[in-house]
Copies of this chain bind each other. A is one copy, B any other.
Amino acid sequence: MSLICTGTIGIDTVHTPTGTAERILGGSCTYFCAAASFFTPVRMVAAVGDDFPPAFRDVLASFPNVDLRGLETRKGSKTFAWGGKYHQNMNTRETLFTDLGVLAEAPPRVPEVFADSKFVFLANSHPSVQMDLLSQIKGKPLVVADTMDLWINIAKPELLVLLRRVDGLVLNYDEAELLTGKANSVAAARHILEMGPRFVIVKKGEHGALLAHRDGIAALPAYPAEIVIDPTGAGDSFAGGMMGWIAGAPEASKEPGAFNTVRKSLVAGTVVASFNIEAFSLDRLKTLKREELDRRIAEYTAMVRV
């Protein structure tokens, strides 16, 4: 069923302990949509400037399941650019620079043809922007949002308003602690449930993910990746795999936000993310075949079986 993602497209410069990649295709919407597209058609809503390289547009267009009709190109504007550096263990990073570009302008609009989307992922941005985008969707979709420490620090009231409107929240381990003041991730996740969402997914990078749902709790390890080239987009491709699986799975159509559905979707998210980090940008996802994905999903499922 129809899945939409609102978020950023960026031009990234990434330094890792093993290498550097300059001005590569990145952004939350990019990683989310590429990952989701393995499971279902996905609609992209994002804005870029007229400096956006045609080669990057070609990469996006090479994913047949990604609908680019919501990709706005703004004359005279600049594409969002981000530079970051990962520390030795790849678990933490620092931002070296941020050129907001179009992100400092009005957010993109949801095209009328996308307004009937049944599954909505609001990738990380100011919670008021997320609310505005959500208000353009009709009906009662399943809504999942991402957020980050910046908004918890400077826009918590707006974030709390958003949390009463979403079904699910995805956030990092340390962000869950920041939002709730609770250092234990289970306690933090349960506390967030009281703020509105039916479920919360706490991402822990190489340590996997925790799902706290009103109807149960689940935890999954990450796929044990030995070679990590670039962790950028791991969280967004995780969310993309997860939401794509829910939107695409016939078994999920009846109860898309149910505990068992969300729990199963974490496998898809975990495995797509494990491919994403094997290369910079979309270099791995753009060559990934569905058979490879299914094989690793089977391998991972066997690995966590006890």
Binding site for B on A (CB under 8 A): 17, 88-90, 177, 183-187, 190, 204, 206-208, 210, 216-222, 224-228, 263-264, 266-267, 301, 303-306
Q: A306 — nearest CB in chain B belongs to which residue? A: B267
Among candidates B187, B208, B303, residue contacting A221 with C-beta atoms closer than 8 Å: B208
A208 to B186, CA, bound (A): 13
Check B217–A219 contact: CB distance below 8 A: no
Interface SS of chain A:
mixed
Chain B neighbourhood of A184, CB < 8 A: 89-90, 206, 225-226, 228
A267 to B186, CA, bound (A): 19
A217 to B224, CA, bound (A): 8
Check B90–A303 contact: CB distance below 8 A: no
- 24 pairs, A vs B, C-beta closer than 8 Å: A17-B183, A89-B183, A89-B184, A184-B226, A186-B224, A186-B225, A186-B226, A204-B207, A207-B207, A207-B208, A208-B219, A208-B221, A216-B303, A217-B224, A217-B303, A219-B222, A219-B224, A219-B304, A220-B221, A220-B304, A221-B221, A263-B306, A266-B306, A304-B306
A177 to B207, CA, bound (A): 15
- Answer whether A226 and B190 are a contact pair too, CB < 8 Å, given A185-B206, A208-B208, A210-B221: yes
Chain B neighbourhood of A218, CB < 8 A: 303-304
Chain B neighbourhood of A187, CB < 8 A: 226-227
Chain B neighbourhood of A210, CB < 8 A: 221, 224
A267 to B207, CA, bound (A): 17
6 more CB-based (< 8 A) A-B contacts, given A186-B224, A208-B221, A220-B306: A89-B184, A208-B208, A208-B219, A216-B303, A217-B303, A221-B221
